[in-house]
Each structure stands twice: as C-alpha cells, then as structure tokens.
Amino acid sequence: MLQGLDVLLVDLQDIGARTYTFVSTMLLAMEAAGRAGVPVVVLDRPNPIGGDLVQGPMLDTAYVSDVGMLPVPLRHGMTSGELALLGRAVLGYDVELTVVPVAGWRRSHWFDATGLPWVRPSPSMPDLESASHYPGIVLFEATNVSVGRGTALAFQVIAAPWLDAAAVRGRAGAVPGVALTDTVIRPVAPPDNKYDATSIPAVRLRVTNRATYDPVRMAVRLLFALRDVHGDSLVVRPRTLDERAGSDRLRRALEAGASADSVWRSWAGELETFRGMRERYLVYR
C-alpha cells in the first residue's frame, strides 16, 4: 500500500490524552512505513492542555488497544511528535523518523496561548474546556452515563436520567482547580446513542485553576460517588473501562469499595518514573 511513496507525512492534532485514537493511528502508520522503507515526517502540533502536567494511571501493556498503545499516563503532557519518538523506541519500530517542531511552543503553553483558532479535532471536542476535562471524563464512556456527546458540553458533564446531581456532587467532594454545578442537558443524535432527545440531569465541570486541576482525580471521585449513590443504576462495561484506565486496577478498586483518593495516590510512584523516562524524548522545554 505504501510502495512508491517518497515520504509519509503525519499532520494530526492530538488532544493530550492517551485514549485519543490519533496517536494510535500515527503509530500504526509508522510501523507500516518502516516495513515498506518509507520515511515518516511528523508535522508536530501543540499539546492543547500543556506539556507540564502528567496525571492518571499508566497503561499496562496487557491492555493495549486502539485507545492506548503506549505505556504513558492518561494525561501524558507530550506532543504527537514526542510520542512518535517515544513510540519508535518503546515499540521497536525500524523507521526513519523526523519531527518538525512547532515554532515558539513551550511546555507551559495551553492552546489559547498560541493565538491559533480552535478547530475541532473531532466532532465531540468543541473547545478547550472540553479538552481540559477529557483525560478524566473519558472514563465514563465505559458506563451508561452520558458525557454530553450530542450537546455543546461534550466531556464537560456527566449525566443520566436517574442521576441525583446534588447527591453525587456532595459525595464526590471538592478537588482543587474545578467547580461542579447542577444542570440539565438534552443530547441530540449523540454518537454514543445515550439518551437521544431526552432532557437529563447532569453535573457540569468548569476549570477554575489549570495549574492545580487534575481531571483524572475528579473523574474517579465522580465515578466512585456514582457507585455509592447510584449503585443499582450504574452500569460499567469491564473491558472498556480497563482499556481506558490502562489496566483493571481502577475497576477492581471500584468493585472493592475502595476510596477514590486511595486510588489516585497509588499512581504517584509510576508517574514520577514516567516523568524521568519521557525526558529523553522531549522536543520542547
């Protein structure tokens, strides 16, 4: 399929979370290009949620899928080009790879610091606020809870017909850098087919401090609150959750009745190891 090509160009806007499939597409293309002897050039793009913070659980390679091929945390703080360099090394791809850097980008820059217009990388990523919550709220795609697909608030809410928003907010408690409020959404032709044309109660998330906000911690707090408040209504698809979380550890903790913050604290050591490991692949400072 690639025979006769001089070079394979990759120009994709990632969203800063392991579960976004664009990076998997890039890695599979790199593998194929290597076998065909075709060089790969990645035209790098900014990480829209910055390159400083790394958050959430690491991927166990036993759970590799199209929503995660690399042993990185849910929020990895890397660009597509940096992930290409890491992936070539970790996955052992024999491919000639060039990363064309983004001029002027720094790890501290969020997308709105670039001066570039926001263009949806996919239909359910309407703005930077959605991208800010995505690394955590994506976990709810493995449940019967809506994440707001089919509305202007995709990945800024969790919602369901049976949801007692105030009770779930109270049970989840406060996490630095984010505010929770009650609202109502009405999905229209949602691509996940959850609650089409139905007005449903929701908890909405708004970032108040980017430097302190951990979207994965907040999402796990909300998931465990749903378990406690709506255990009879919440449905979790085990393999889907495991693939998004990167292992079965989160699900097993959920099933065992563990506290959300005990799970969050358990990631600290692996995140510190990852910070050191990723250094050799970083293009930007």
Across 116-129, average pLDDT: 97
What does the pLDDT look like over 259-276, one tens digit per residue?
A: 999 999 999 999 999 999
CATH 3.40.50.12170 residue ranges in the chain?
8-116+270-281
Instruction: Provide the whole-model pTM.
Output: 0.97
Structure token pair of residue 168: 């779930």
Q: In the prediction, which pLDDT does 3 show?
A: 86
The string of DSSP letters for 111-124 reads GGGTTPPP--SSTT
Beta bridge partners of 58: 73
Fold of 128-265: Aspartate Aminotransferase, domain 1 (3.90.1150)
**Element holding 181 (H helix, E strand):** strand 178-185
Across 79-98, average pLDDT: 98
Q: In the prediction, which pLDDT does 189 show?
A: 98
∠ CA(284), CA(96), CA(89), 5° rounding?
A: 60
Identify the CATH assignment for 8-116+270-281 out of 3.20.20.10, 3.40.50.12170, 3.40.50.970, 3.40.640.10: 3.40.50.12170
Q: In the prediction, which pLDDT does 174 show?
A: 97
CATH 3.90.1150.140 residue ranges in the chain?
128-265
DSSP, collapsed to helix, strand or coil, labels residue 189 as coil
Across 164-186, average pLDDT: 98
What does the pLDDT look like over 183-221, one tens digit per residue?
A: 999 999 999 999 999 999 999 999 999 999 999 999 999
**Element holding 202 (H helix, E strand):** strand 200-207
Of the pLDDT bands very low, low, confident and very high (cuts 50, 70, 90), residue 1 is confident
Q: In the prediction, which pLDDT does 256 show?
A: 98
Distance from C-alpha of 76 to C-alpha of 104, rounded to nearest angstrom:
20
Is pLDDT above 90 for 5?
yes
- 40 φψ region: left (φ > 0), alpha (ψ -120 to 50), beta (else): beta
